[in-house]
């Protein structure tokens, strides 16, 4: 099963709760350039579909960051969920050495 996720770089100065209200989930990508990390936003519906198909630290998939012209193989490192609602609150992606 081939998974490809599209995301964008998080706008400078944007507040996480404002992003969530507009249907975006904040995320971070680690390991794409050594020790650098980059802040991203992913559409909430895309995150729901991803979490149905992918497992944390197990399932590799393609992540395409359109604003950075970066595309690579990643895994979900961590999923933070809202304590009461159980909805995704924040994601952490880790680029594999293949990407």
Q: Model confidence over 58-84: pLDDT tens digits?
A: 999 999 999 888 899 999 999 999 999
Residues paired with 37 in a beta bridge: 30
Q: Model confidence over 12-67: pLDDT tens digits?
A: 999 999 999 999 999 999 987 777 899 999 999 999 999 999 999 999 999 999 98
Per-residue confidence (pLDDT) for residue 99, from 0 to 100: 45
Provide the token pair at 25.
Answer: 């989930």
pTM score of the predicted model: 0.88
Per-residue confidence (pLDDT) for residue 98, from 0 to 100: 59
In the chain, the domains with their CATH numbers are: 2-93 (2.40.240.10)
């Amino acid at each position: 099963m081939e998974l490809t996720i599209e995301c964008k770089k998080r706008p400078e100065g944007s507040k996480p709760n404002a992003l969530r209200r507009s249907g975006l989930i904040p995320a971070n990508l680690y390991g794409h350039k050594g020790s650098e990390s980059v802040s991203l936003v992913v559409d909430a519906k895309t995150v729901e579909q991803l979490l149905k198909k992918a497992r944390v630290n197990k399932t590799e998939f393609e992540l395409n960051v359109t604003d950075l012209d970066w595309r690579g193989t990643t895994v979900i490192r961590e999923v933070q969920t809202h304590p009461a609602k159980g909805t995704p609150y924040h994601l952490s992606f880790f680029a594999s050495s293949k990407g």
